[in-house]
Structure 1
Amino acid sequence: MNKVFLHIEGLAVLVLSLYFYGYSQFSWLLFFILLLAPDISMFGYLINNQIGARLYNLFHTFTIVIIVIFCGLLLENQTALAIGLIWSAHIGMDRMIGYGLKYPTDFKDNHMNRV
């Protein structure tokens, strides 16, 4: 049951991110170009599993995203706000389909399931 809630939570984050992105009238071209950008962090796995997991998790937690969105709002920086919303949409999309934070054992091991 908890796994279902994590998927629903991911869907909610994705939908809200899309809503606020559209509401702000940001470029949809930019959205689709940057949507998968956080997955560049997977290149850390070329070094080893531990560095790969740490780098991936850094780019796939909401902590930095919330700071980017907050700074965008506080400083009225539309670019930061757009990037933060795209980034949160990416994380929400990942959670919705079952990709979670990685364990250092293997790329397939994450907090939601073994993919």
Structure 2
Amino acid sequence: MTYFLSGGTDEVKILLTWLGFPDTKTIPAQLSHEQGDKTLKIFAQAWEPSRYFARLREDLAKQIAVVAKKVSWRSQDILILETHYNNLKKAGYNEADSLQSVIVNLKG
């Protein structure tokens, strides 16, 4: 119903797959680089509006870390990863550590 009412865009479909405490069966076991990149970019767009919804933001922080761990990132991805790291760190989420680990590994 939420998908239908929101216009049914790909962005909404991705958000509904990951957020709102979904059934673990709906979360992909693996993500391609393209899927991970797209997902983190959509999460970045959702970050600021989520500030009004504590449970949603908490779930978003958790899922950002999950996505960051599921993808083989490339050096050109450092910007999106650092964006999420900075957002999580500023908001006081421990999930920032997961992003920092991914970034450190990319920088070698």
Q: TM-score, normalised by structure 2?
A: 0.30
Q: Which has the larger radius of gyration?
A: 1
